[in-house]
Amino acid sequence: MRRFLRLVFIVFTVLRFGLDELALSGFRQRWVRALSWAVTLGRRFDQPRGVRLRLALERLGPIFVKFGQVLSTRRDLLPLDVSDELAKLQDRVPPISAAQAAGLVEKAFGRPADEVFASFDAEPVASASIAQVHFATMQDGREVAVKVLRPGMLAVIDDDLTLLHTLARWVERLSVDGKRLKPREVVAEFDIYLHDELDLVREAANAAQLRRNMQGLNLVMVPEMIWDLCTPTVIVMERMYGVPISQTQRLLDAGVDLKKLARDGVTIFFTQVFRDGYFHADMHPGNIQVSTEPATFGRYIALDFGIIGTLTEWDKEYLAQNFIAFFRRDYKRVAELHVESGWVPAATRVDALENAIRAVCEPHFDRPLKDISLGQVLMRLFQTSRRFNVEIQPQLVLLQKTLLNIEGLGRQLDPELDLWSTAKPFLERWMNQQVGWQGLVERLKNEAPRYAQLLPELPRLLHQALQAPAQSAAESAALVALLGEQRRTNRLLQGLLYGALGFLAGVLLMRAWLHGWPG
């Protein structure tokens, strides 16, 4: 009953704010325009469409607010008045009262807020869909930010996700593209990430890991967590000082180089994805600031770590090969990778897929972002994927979402940014490190402890094999595999040894030839 009432509420909100009229107004067919007139008959909408959409999303709750946050970064796909209104969802959602926030702090720490903090700002500095942030000062004088989880979020999110799961099942059954798009798997991934956001300790741990990963890059700062004051509903962290990245005029007035900032953003993203396989996956402008402090001038400040994306080594290598093939315009290799990965049926003609990818991508190379119609590109890619039955990969949904956010930020900072030329050197360098001598040495170092433990055991294992010829087939197979691995290791070590001896002999011969042979 509660879920049914939630569905009724959603329908009522759509009708109240005229979202049905907004959805139908973009069609040119006469019958659709007639339907639009019919559904709006007797209703008056005095507020602008952007305001109505924003208010409706705020009223519908956190899942819909997050949808609006993603849309707000796509100014090339939305009218300016709509995107400006949706941008207010990034950190200006109506907050809970100061009394409620103080009560949540007291409940989390078991003592009043004025005992924990020397001062606690009643007015939140940011208010988002899941939580809000207050500035405070510790008893020892440290300035901190306090993030407080909104009450009652779990029940609302569970109800909305139940509706999304139901809708996904309908789409999969009724739509021609339903199975290929994997809506149930996508909603399941979204379910996991939203529930992760409801545990602020998990967010604090995400921030700590990202802070360690980014320490040597000197391009981005992540606040330090104060672990003694981190609970599932309230966390306390170092206060950061910066200018929101959406306020480009303030950044220009402060002397920040926006073109460099755009390039640094691409470097940060590809470092997190391909070096670490651990990336900030909620990079809308409300979560990104830029430092104007002298010691850290021009560095990014990352905030809100509730959603973090992870990639396996296989994912990273596959994506890097795809990107490099795109950068080199090797569309045949892109098509082959799709077949090898199972993204398209094995019987797919590689040459046909190659030609289709070329037709979509070739017109957009060497052009600045401002000259690219992303809407047309996405439409063509969707048509191509449908033609070749390309399957959506749920594990990469967060990466796809973050790429959209990154492109939106790049367009805002530097419309002339050439994303391809900026990312290509990084990916080529990363690939060389993976498949070159440096990668080989690194893998040998990682495997050395395993081989060191394995080598002393080989004589005993061999003796057991000779003394027990009637051992099971499984044990024999394991031993054969073990011996085979050892032989491969021996050949590799012999090859390295022979190479080193050959190099040494060459040096000695060269030295003898330069200084004269003895005698």
| CA distance linking residue 241 with residue 260, whole number of Å | 20
218: exposed, middle or buried (C-beta count within 10 Å: 0-12, 13-18, 19+)? exposed
| CA distance linking residue 328 with residue 53, whole number of Å | 42
The Cα-based distances of 88 to 97, 168, 281, 329, 341 in angstroms read 19, 29, 20, 39, 40
Question: Which parts of 2-97 fold into alpha helices (H)?
Answer: 2-16, 19-24, 30-40, 49-60, 62-72, 80-86
DSSP 26: T
H-run or E-run covering 335: helix 331-341
429: exposed, middle or buried (C-beta count within 10 Å: 0-12, 13-18, 19+)? exposed
The Cα-based distances of 179 to 166, 214, 300, 345, 392 in angstroms read 15, 39, 40, 14, 9
DSSP 514: H
Joined tokens for residue 490:
């021996």
Beta bridge partners of 144: 136, 238
Joined tokens for residue 77:
């796909």
Q: Are 184 and 283 in contact (CB under 8 A)?
A: no
Give exposure, 232-245, as e/b (b: 16+ Cβ within 10 Å): ebbbbbbbbebbbb
Joined tokens for residue 306:
């509730």
**In three state form, how does the secondary structure of 401-448 look?**
HHHHHHHHHHHHHCCCCCHHHHHHHHHHHHHHHHHCHHHHHHHHHHHH
Query: Going by C-beta distance under 8 Å and a sequence separation of 6 or more, which residues neighbour residue 198?
Result: 130, 149, 153, 154, 157, 232
* Number of Cβ atoms within 10 Å of the Cβ of 85: 23
Phi, psi values for residue 323, rounded to 5°: -60, -45
Q: Are 322 and 337 in contact (CB under 8 A)?
A: yes
Phi, psi values for residue 436, rounded to 5°: -85, -165
Beta bridge partners of 221: 301
Amino acid at 50: G
DSSP 123: S
The Cα-based distances of 73 to 265, 382, 394, 402 in angstroms read 15, 21, 22, 11
Catalytic residue among 282, 304, 315, 414: 282
Q: How many H helices and E strands in the chain?
A: 23, 11
Would you call 228 a catalytic residue per the annotation? no
**Residues that are catalytic:** 282
